[in-house]
Amino acid sequence: MKFFVDTADLAEIRELASTGLLDGVTTNPSLVAKTGGNFLDLIAAICEIVPGPVSAEVAATDFETMLAEGRHLARIAPNVTVKVPLTPDGLKACKALTGDGTMVNVTLCFSAGQALLAAKAGATFVSPFVGRLDDLSTDGMALIDDIVQIYRQYPAIATEVLVASVRHPMHLVAAAKMGAHVATIPPAVIRQLFKHPLTERGLEQFVKDWATTGQSILGEPGEAVQPLRKPA
């Protein structure tokens, strides 16, 4: 599974990219607004940090303006993925942009039928929002399972399932078990993936035991070290 980070915070993106975990980035108008920065400059900066797909969303809702905005965004960098809404005009824009050779992320998907439409329009990615469905007492992960199963029936479908609105690690694990191609994850949820009490407890014990040896791994080979004491 590919990991995208769902943020427009450059410091967060740089830190996570340094770990080698990131395959791409998704942004949206709400995330960009939080930064207070210039949208076009921000997308250009993200594309320099992360070589994988970087989703940049159009602001328009009509076909002609969406297409113009999408083409403008695509000129920023070759890894820009233009994000369009799952509407009739959005899918028309998707078809035109993919015809240009631009990657397109069709967003705000909430049904398997919508996901089929996105695939028919040639979307590179479709973004079903699991957390927002859960908020309405609907099983968001069931939607992911449906879309993955449907896409598998048709080898000609190249659209990748990009799981969005991920709220916690179990969303991610469940999506991976179902075979979703990508998950876009908030930085806080990525950090949660590292945490397990047994990992922390084990590391604490290893550090404590190593300190009793009095040794340093950074010492030169052949340097004398204190021999380990044998238990009485």
Selecting among 2, 83, 95, 177, the annotated active-site residue is 83
Give the pair of three-digit tokens for residue 46. 């993200």
Report if residue 122 sits inside a domain: yes
> 90-121 pLDDT, tens per residue?
999 999 999 999 999 999 999 999 999 999 99
Residue 106 within a domain? yes
Model pTM?
0.90
Active site (annotated) includes residue 83: yes
In a domain, 202, yes or no: no
Give domain status of residue 209, yes or no. Answer: no
Domain containing 60 — which CATH number? 3.20.20.70
**Residue 214 counted as domain residue:** no
The answer to whether residue 80 is domain-embedded is yes
Q: What is the maximum span of the chain, computed from C-alpha positions, in angstroms?
A: 83
pLDDT tens-place string over residues 117-144 = 999 999 999 999 999 999 999 999 999 9
Give residue-wise pLDDT tens across range 168-225: 999 999 999 999 999 999 999 999 999 999 999 999 999 999 999 989 898 777 665 5
Domain that holds residue 173: 2-194
Tell me how many domains the chain contains: 1
Domain-embedded: residue 217: no
Is residue 213, in this structure, part of any structural domain at all? Answer: no
